[in-house]
Copies of this chain bind each other. A is one copy, B any other.
Amino acid sequence: MNLTEIRNSLISKGLRVTPQRLSIFEAIIKLHDHPSADEIIAFIRQDQPNIATGTVYKVLDSLVENGLISKVKTDKDLMRYDALMVNHHHLYCVDSDKIHDYIDEELDALIAGYFAKKEISGFKIEDIRLQINGKFINEPS
């Protein structure tokens, strides 16, 4: 996703295009490792030292509300943000506390097939995400 696409996605949601929104959105994509608000702020301040933390939180909220990014949480720490909006799962490293995306359509189909036959009484499933805990063997970047 490049700057023009970011711009268009803001416009498509009726959000005004501001330098702050562009750089926050871009930061999440570039940091790509589910950055926390803090990491996003630090990254942006390299170029734009005057951005306020309040602004970053407000922008993140509005992006989440408009479905442009999503929030993730680990069991240990704070909010993380994720620009990947297609259905995907998360690999959580128990050592380094990193989160990686995991896309597997075959797995999705398998699980969807299972719940097509077996329903959970009293519960209407909308979406299933796997939290796969484990360790990276050869630390990916």
- A residues sitting closer than 8 Å to B (CB atoms) are 70-76, 79, 91, 94, 100, 102, 106-107, 110-111, 114, 118, 120, 122-138, 140
**A114 partner residues in chain B, CB cutoff 8 A:** 107, 110
Contact across chains for B135 and A123 when beta carbons are under 8 A apart? yes
Give this chain's copy count: 2
Contact across chains for A120 and B133 when beta carbons are under 8 A apart? no
Bound CA–CA A97/B114 (angstroms) = 25
Bound CA–CA A111/B109 (angstroms) = 12
Bound CA–CA A23/B36 (angstroms) = 35
Contact across chains for A134 and B127 when beta carbons are under 8 A apart? yes
Bound CA–CA A73/B134 (angstroms) = 18
**A140 partner residues in chain B, CB cutoff 8 A:** 122
Contact across chains for A134 and B138 when beta carbons are under 8 A apart? no
Contact across chains for A120 and B135 when beta carbons are under 8 A apart? no
**A128 partner residues in chain B, CB cutoff 8 A:** 130-133
Bound CA–CA A124/B91 (angstroms) = 10
**Contact A135 to B130, CB < 8 A, known contacts A73-B75, A75-B71, A120-B102:** no
